[in-house]
Amino acid sequence: MNVILGILFFVLGSLAVYIFQKKKYSKTTEEDLVCEVIQKAFIREKHSDHNEHKLVRELLKSDAFIKELSLTAKFKGMVVGYILFTKVKVGNQTLLALAPLAVLPKFQKKGIGKSLVEKGHKIAKELGYKGVVVLGHPEYYKKFGYEPASKWEIKCPIEVPDEAFMAIELYPGALKEISGIVEYPKEFGIN
Ligand SMILES: CC(C)(COP(=O)(O)OP(=O)(O)OC[C@H]1O[C@@H](n2cnc3c(N)ncnc32)[C@H](O)[C@@H]1OP(=O)(O)O)[C@@H](O)C(=O)NCCC(=O)NCCS
């Protein structure tokens, strides 16, 4: 009798564990995986508030979201990098803001960030956007052709070092007629 009860408890226990695991893992979405990558990438960043993943969750639901410009980099099916471009206003023009860009620490310095930026620019251009602004490491973004946005008199709504607020034209002369203070989506909480 004890043996039968033991087997019964074992089978029921295993079944419970199986159902719990299945439920837990089937609930993990691509958005969760992306947020995990963002959190891990920014963990040692001194200029970070470590809330970039929360911002992304808000932006994904916002009017500023463009699904073609939310891009992941994968290695063996695993998300290892992510980039997001969202709509911003400068006067009556719509540009894009690049934020965030994140690559898992173990996968950094292998060209993943570069390929995400370049792919994003290509798609943005195909979609008809004129330019992108970014607040970030000048040394990194100038590799892609970003220059201080002050060159076009495009200004960040908060005070930041001139060289850290950058812009790029997606085709020659695209930003020529555009100037003013960038109006970020309200989710950024900076306007
Ligand atoms: C910044 C980050 C996205 C770069 O991604 P990555 O995949 O390591 O970058 P890549 O390998 O594509 O590097 C491209 C080039 O930039 C250089 N580079 C990489 N990280 C750099 C940095 N932090 N500053 C300056 N240059 C950098 C690389 O050496 C490489 O140069 P090369 O083309 O002359 O060889 C990544 O380090 C990261 O996720 N950092 C934490 C989050 C963060 O800071 N995001 C950006 C916010 S502004």
Residues 28-188: name the CATH superfamily.
Gcn5-related N-acetyltransferase (GNAT) (3.40.630.30)
Instruction: Report how far ligand 1's centroid is from the alpha carbon of 113 (Å).
Output: 6
- Sketch the domain layout of the chain as residue ranges: 28-188
CA of 103 to the centre of ligand 1 (A): 8
In the prediction, which pLDDT does 27 show? 76
pLDDT value at residue 47:
85
Instruction: Tell whether ligand 1 has an atom less than 6 A from the beta carbon of residue 114.
Output: yes
Over the range 51-76, which residues count as b (16 or more CB within 10 Å of their CB) and which as e? ebbebbebbbeeebbeeebbbebeee
Q: Please tell me the distance between residue 102's alpha carbon and the centre of ligand 1 in angstroms.
A: 9
Helix (H, G, I), strand (E, B) or coil at 146: coil
Q: Give residue 191's pLDDT.
A: 77
What's the confidence (pLDDT) of residue 21?
Answer: 59
Is the CB of residue 157 below 6 angstroms from any atom belonging to ligand 1?
no
Asked whether 37 lines ligand 1 (CB < 6 A), one says no
Atom of ligand 1 nearest to the CA of 108: 8
Residue (of 120, 132, 137, 139) closest to 167 by Cα position: 132
**pLDDT by residue, tens only, the chain of 191 residues:** 677 777 767 766 666 655 555 555 557 899 999 999 999 999 999 889 999 999 999 999 999 999 999 999 999 999 999 999 999 999 999 999 999 999 999 999 999 999 999 999 999 999 999 999 999 999 999 999 999 999 999 999 999 999 999 999 999 999 999 999 999 999 999 87
Distance 136 CA to ligand 1 centre (A): 11
CB 60 within 8 A of CB 32: no
Q: Would the CB of 102 count as within 6 Å of ligand 1?
A: yes
